[in-house]
Structure 1
Amino acid sequence: MCARILVVEDDTLQAELVRRLLLQEGHTPVVVHDGRAALDEARRRRPDLVILDLMLPEVDGLGVCRALRRDGDVPVLMLTARSTEDDLLLGLGLGADDYMTKPYSPRELLARIRTVLRRTLRTADASPVLRAGGIAVDPLRHEVTCDGVPIPCTPGEFAILHVMTAEPDRVFSRRQLLQHTKGQDRASTERAIDVHILNLRKKIEADPSRPVRLLTVFGVGYKLTGRPS
């Protein structure tokens, strides 16, 4: 699976290391060293994935991620030295699809990249449109609608809705949803699912503070109701 990957890293040594890793995997890396150049490049030629540092000149990584999300749904993998849980949740809350901290294992980085690309670039099969509670998920076109209105979703949000519309009214634990969104089974990042759920509720609920579609089952996890709202 070859992809065009935009690497946004102001440390030239780190950028070169990532570039070489991507070349070895058969990808086409494009490297820029500041946030403004990242946005210009992403808008000029849409990449398949953005690997994004947070501490950048011109526009910081959070600002880049926010702007990318306004423009579309290009996958974003944050690769940064900022490692607190607050940083993780903030990054995911802005729509990042994955978050890795430095120093990192090159093998793990490549595994994370493969996971995101499999989810976003894989050839669509003949799966039917999935429907539950007014939500329709089209795996073929990678589209979501709510009561017929198109809903922009990040790849992580799409993965959650995809698995939940396939089994409406089933309760999924955070760990189960994490396996679908990131391909990882790491309890330390399960709270990231809460951020995805919060963002989804803002998009599909009339009143996100009183959800009627995407429900919390206390002590267990979440479910998408199969009943019309």
Structure 2
Amino acid sequence: MKRILIVEDEVNIARVLNLYIRKEGYETLVVHDGLQALEAFESFQPALVLLDIMLPGMNGWEVLQSIRQRHSCPVILLTSLTKTEQKLQGLGDGADDYITKPFVGEEVVARIKAVLRRTSAMLEKEHVRYYGSLKVDFQSHQIYLNGAEIFLSPRDLAVFLVLAERPKQVFSREQLIEQVWGIDYEGSDRAVDLAIKRIRGALENWKSSEGEIKTMHRIGYQFIVYE
């Protein structure tokens, strides 16, 4: 369940927002001033912050700037200020969206969902890559081919991730050993060749037209993706 931090000093508005957002299945926390917002942000760890600008203690601009100094959590500004310059200031300071009062509760919920979808897609793009029918999640260390997970030993998986993270770069056996086995490894570099053989076996159904792990004679290995 995703958490939404609601920062609004007008109690009635905060109550309405809380009802609408909780109705959609989100977990919420409501605070009424800027200083409380920063404390709650650290402890509650929300997926999104709904932030009023005109707040006691510390205004919304300052809260937004403080959040942006250490986190990319999406923030939607909520305010009665209507000037275009003020909206642009909020977006320029790192806000993800801007809602002007008075508002309709359904609109706020729709904006929250849209921002969360957009943020989720951006985060996935950062750590998930697609090479044709091959999906590689560098954060969870998982590989999928045509939707089915491919299982490798931890060491073979580490070799594959090193190669897949930098398509077209040629890695020597020595470089792969240093990154995967460690600089203290005293075995044969034949271990790299065997790992590559097992990886290729696991990916035997990956279309040759989409990519391959290519052997560079007397040099090493290269992960190739065909556009």
Instruction: After TM superposition, give the deviation of residue 140 of structure 1 in Å.
Output: 6.5
- Whichever structure has more strand as a proportion of its residues is 2
The residue aligned with 2:225 is none
Q: Mind listing any 5+ residue stretches in structure 2 that lack a counterpart?
A: 140-227
Q: Which amino acid aligns with 2:129?
A: S
Distance 2:138 2:106 in 1: 30
1:1-229 mapped onto 2 (5 Å cutoff): 2-121=1-120, 124=124, 126-128=128-130
TM-score by length of 1: 0.54
SS of 1:71's partner is coil
Distance 2:98 2:117 in 1: 17
- After superposition, the C-alpha distances for 1:121-143 in whole angstroms (9 at most, x for unaligned) are 469374349xxxxxxxx9966xx
CA contact (8 A) 2:51 2:77 kept: yes
Q: Mind listing any 5+ residue stretches in structure 1 that lack a counterpart?
A: 130-137, 142-229
Q: Which amino acid aligns with 1:68?
A: I
Q: CA RMSD in A?
A: 2.2
| Cα pair distance change 1:53/1:124, threshold 3 Å | same
- After superposition, the C-alpha distances for 1:155-213 in whole angstroms (9 at most, x for unaligned) are xxxxxxxxxxxxxxxxxxxxxxxxxxxxxxxxxxxxxxxxxxxxxxxxxxxxxxxxxxx
Fraction of identical pairs, as percent = 39
Instruction: After TM superposition, give the deviation of residue 3 of structure 1 in Å.
Output: 1.4
| Cα pair distance change 1:115/1:140, threshold 3 Å | farther
Aligned residues: 132
Q: Which amino acid aligns with 2:100?
A: T
CA contact (8 A) 2:80 2:100 kept: yes
The residue aligned with 1:176 is none
Instruction: After TM superposition, give the deviation of residue 120 of structure 1 in Å.
Output: 2.4
Structure with larger Rg: 2
Instruction: After TM superposition, give the deviation of residue 57 of structure 1 in Å.
Output: 0.3
Instruction: After TM superposition, give the deviation of residue 105 of structure 1 in Å.
Output: 1.8
- Runs ≥4 in structure 1, deviation > 3 angstroms? 121-126, 138-141
| Cα pair distance change 1:108/1:91, threshold 3 Å | same
Instruction: After TM superposition, give the deviation of residue 44 of structure 1 in Å.
Output: 2.0
Distance 1:139 1:95 in 2: 27
